[in-house]
Every structure is written in C-alpha cells, then in structure tokens.
A and B are shown apart, each in its own frame.
Chain A
Amino acid sequence: MALVEARDLVKRFGSLTAVDGISFAVERAEVVGFLGPNGAGKSTAMKIISGFLEPTSGQAFIEGYDSHTQPIEARRRLGYLPEGAPAYADMSVADFLGFIAGMHGMSKRQAADRLAELVERIDLADVWNQRIDSLSKGFKRRVGIAQALVHDPDVLILDEPTDGLDPNQKHDMRELIRSIAPQKAIVISTHILEEVEAVCTRAIIIAKGRMLADATPAELLARPQDAGAVAITIATGDPRRAIELISVQPGISKVDVAERVNGVTRLLVHAPQSRPTAAELAGILRRSDIAVAEMFVQRVSLDDVFRQITNGAEN
C-alpha cells in the first residue's frame, strides 16, 4: 500500500481552480519533489493531503486513511511542515515541541526521550530555551522540521523545507532529509531545482494546478529537445557552409545559430538519436577546413526542463 495517495484532487476557490486533478502515490523510501512555479497549487495540494483543507472533489490518503473522513487516524501518521514553518512565536523551542508532543498523545517521558534525540539530530541545543520569535530563519525552519518529526511519523509532507536558508543550512537540511528518507515516504515542495536532483527520487511538476510530469530526475533530464544537443563554435562570421554540411548528415533534425559575435558563430546541432556523434561532426567540419574553436555536448539542466514543461502549459 502506498503511504501517501492522492486521487484526482480538485480544489476550487470561487472561480479559481487551484488544484486540478492531481493524482499520485508515494511508497516508503521515496522522496517526491513537488515542483512548480509560484502559485502553481503546490501548497494547496499539500494542505489538502494533510487534511487542513477539504478538496472540492477527490480524496487523499495517508497510510490508507482518508485525510478528510478519518482525519485523526491520518494525522497520527503524518508529519507536516506548513508553508513558512509557522510556530508559536511566544513559546520557547522546548515548550513548543513539548506542546506538539503532548498533542500527539506522547507521555511526558516519551516526549522527553524523543526530544532529546531530535535536539541532537536537528542541532537545536543552542536555542533550546530561546523564544521562537528571537530565532533566525534557519533555526525557525529547523524547529518546524523538529515539530513534524516529533512523533516519528511514517509520512512527511514538507512545504518548502529549505526556503530562506543559507547554502550551509540548505545542505544540512538535505542531509537530514536524505538520512530519514529510507524509513519514510516524503513529499517536499520546492521551486529550487537543484534540490530535486539532490534529494528526490521522483519529481512531480505542477503548473496552474495540473500535473505536467511525474518522473525521476534522470527521466526528466532526458526529456527536452536539447538533450544531447551539440554546441559547436566556429571561427567565422559566415556559418552557411557549415550549416549546409551538417544538415545533410543523416540523423540531424535541426541546426540553429545560437550566437554570432565578433566573427565567431555558435551553432546548436540537434540530433535526437545522438548520431552523428560530436567527434564525427568535428571530422566533417575539419575536412572542409572550417576551424572549430570549441565544441561540447550541451548538458541539460533541470531548469531548462522545468521551463519547457511549465511554459508549454501556459501557451
């Protein structure tokens, strides 16, 4: 059984459809990244799965419990970090986490043991007795994570866990997520794409409330047209001959002039099957005495994929 399951979730606010038919399932040991531009419906979808919002239609399950009709059972198994990592500003870290532990039905003793473990793991010892409103953003976010982990849930839903953190803190947060991932099913939302490559086993791309992709980061990277495109820089302001030569090769779909400055031209050669190879192209040009200044196989970034997929949705 999937630990998290969304079945055709729809959420409308008046005439706005914030979430439009989202379905997916997350198994143990998976870390699913929710990706999407701001306002895509990531947070709304997470709020529905956590049971904070009711869906207009569709169902969400945590370990088989409907988060709307069996909320208590579902929430026992869920750790949720809401957007912005809210916490009671007037409480100390210790009191706040103690309160959350109590609300999860943990005895004083259980809570003390568990919190002692979390303090180590999340590195909260320095601020343990400080009021939450005096904490830096990084510590606040960590308190939010600690709060989600207090009852050691099998399912974690983390809305932008690294938002506003500095690079070191981001790194630590990712390490933490990776370290707990094997025992849990985790859904994180983010608009930072490197994060998906760093921690996620799967990425779901959402824009305008719709799911546009559900694949591993590697599959996503293989997707765009530019995958394996070869960029060739030739030392001439007139690339016509080079284009002619390359275009007639079998396997070439398109040759674009990417840039032409100071008598140097950069061509982008699209070859879907990666045939001919970069080396073969170089040979062809050399035989025609066209000087190749630079040549590399273009590496696709998730940013490109993301832009392509989400822009496609808008057009």
Chain B
Amino acid sequence: MRPTLLVFRREFAAYFATPVAAVFLIVFLALSAGLTFFMTGFFDRGQADLSGFFFWHPWLFLVLMPAIAMRLWAEERRSGTIELLMTLPVQPWQIVLGKWLAAWAFAALALALTTPLWITVNILGSPDNGVIFASYIGSWLMAGSFLALAAAISALSKSQVLAFIGATAVSFLFVMAGFDLVLSAVRSWAPGVIVDAVRSMSFLGHFQRLTEGVLELPSIIFFVSLIAFCLWLNVRAIEVKKAA
C-alpha cells in the first residue's frame, strides 16, 4: 500500500504546485453556485433543499472532471517521467490507484468547499439532511467514475488536450446513455437486452436515484464497479503501450 500512498501524496501535491488548482476550485464554486442561484432559482423555489444544486453536477463534472484527470498520465508521457515511474519496483496498479485517488481526493475537496450552501439551507429552513448527505456521496461517486474514465483515456495519449477531449466525449455518452439521443442510435441495430444495458449505464439515471435520498445499492454498485473497471482499463492501457 505504501507505493500507492506515495503516488497519491505526490499527485495530490502536484495539483497545488501551480495555480491551476486554485483556478479550478474557483471555477467549480462559481459555476455551481451561479447555476444553482440563477438557473434553477434557488430562492424562488421556496424549498429548503439542494436539488437545484446537485441537478447541475453531471453537466459540470462532464467538463471539470476530465480537466482534473487529463494530466495524470498524459503529462508523464510528455515529460518522459513515465519511464522513471514504470521502471520502479512497484506494480502498475499501485500507481494507477494512487493517481486516481489523488484526483478523487481533489474532487472531494471541491465538493467540501460547497458545504456553505448546505449550511445556508439549514439556516433558511429545515432540509432533509439525509437526502443532502446521500446526494453528496452520490456526487462524489459519480465524480470518481468520471475521473477513472478520464484517467484511463489519459494513459493513451501524451497530449493533455486530446485526453481532455476524448474523456469528455466518452463521458458525454455515459451521461446521455438514458436519453433517446444515445438509445435510438443503439436501438436501430441492437436487441432489447443491449438497449436496456446501455440505458442502465446512464450516469444521470443513477445519480438522480441517489439524489432522491436513498443510498440505493444498485446505483452505488454501478459507480463502484465502473470505477474498478476503468482502473483496470487504465492498467491495461499502460501495459498495451509498453508492448506497442
């Protein structure tokens, strides 16, 4: 576990080595607050809850999570440090896990910085704090899925820009998997089972169920297993690149 921890610490610190982290956090907070107050009418709804805040998370994360994860591997490849990293006497999965955890912890920090909103609704009224807690957990799990996906794609490229675009595109499919935009494309050729399978991959669907307040087990399992699968893909991507 020590190599994972060391990689985690290094990567997490790397976010703060440049102003990028601060810029990112400010953008995330400004966007999420702005959208909550002005687009979903936080005050006009007359309800003490954060559904108008969590509503935007899939869309915000779609762009912001690839931005956090794009450098994880692409930057190592560009600067050549991947050669150092991959010739150290540790297993590739230990590195993959450490990197992802660092990004996930950074996402946790971003979410934690939104808690003044949680406090605000408690001052203004009496919200169902269980629902809000469940929503935060759901949001964090979804962030982890976006990050794992983006990290795996980052491992394929030495360009952060390409990693970002690729990850956003793939993430978009996952977010939209429950919508006709994606489903009709599948329905034209695939049997019903597959259509249902694709629908069940929808980030939006699973996240909505989690924000309804029950920590619904299937949705939690979905995000956790998607993360595990993407991390496995990440390890594979590194191994395939090695043989190429």
Contact = CB atoms under 8 A, between A and B. Distances in A.
B10 A91 contact: yes
A167 to B, nearest CB: 25
A228 interface: no
B87 A99 contact: no
A283 interface: no
22 contacts: A13-B244, A54-B242, A72-B91, A75-B87, A76-B89, A80-B83, A82-B80, A82-B83, A82-B84, A86-B79, A86-B81, A86-B83, A88-B79, A88-B81, A90-B18, A95-B13, A100-B88, A102-B3, A103-B3, A103-B6, A103-B89, A104-B89
Interface string A42-71: 000001001111100000000000000001
Q: Is the interface of B mostly helix, strand, loop or mixed?
A: helix
A83 B6 contact: no
Interface in B1-55: 2-3, 6-7, 10, 13-14, 17-18
Among B7, B14, B17, B88: residue with most chain A CB under 10 A: B88
Interface residues of B, number: 23
A162 interface: no
Contact of B90 (A13, A72, A84, A89): A72
A51 B10 contact: no
Nearest to A90: B17
A99 B89 contact: no
Contacts of A103: 3, 6-7, 88-90
Nearest to B90: A103
A105 B89 CA distance: 8
Contacts of A50: 83, 87
A78 interface: yes
Interface pairs A-B: 8 shortest CB-CB: A86-B80, A90-B17, A82-B83, A75-B89, A54-B243, A103-B88, A76-B89, A86-B81
Contacts of A78: 87
A100 B80 CA distance: 15
B86 interface: yes
Nearest to A104: B89
Nearest to A96: B10
Contact of A102 (B2, B18, B79): B2
Contacts of B81: 86-88
Given A54-B243, A72-B91, A84 B80 contact: yes
Nearest to B10: A99
Nearest to A79: B87
B83 A47 contact: yes
A147 interface: yes
Contacts, number: 72
Nearest to B15: A90
B80 A102 contact: no
A90 B83 contact: no
A75 B88 contact: yes
Contacts of A51: 86-87
A53 B89 CA distance: 15
Nearest to A151: B89
Nearest to B5: A102
B80 A89 contact: no
Nearest to A86: B80
B84 A86 contact: yes
A52 B242 contact: yes
A99 to B, nearest CB: 6
Contacts of A91: 10, 13-14, 17
Nearest to B80: A86
A214 B120 CA distance: 76
A95 B11 CA distance: 12
A53 B87 contact: no
A174 B113 CA distance: 53
Given A82-B80, A88-B14, A90-B18, 12 more contacts: A50-B87, A52-B86, A53-B243, A54-B242, A75-B87, A75-B88, A75-B89, A80-B83, A86-B81, A86-B83, A86-B84, A88-B79
A71 B89 CA distance: 7
Contacts of A84: 80
B89 A102 contact: no
Contacts of B91: 72
Contacts of B90: 72, 103
A54 B84 CA distance: 15
Contacts of B18: 90
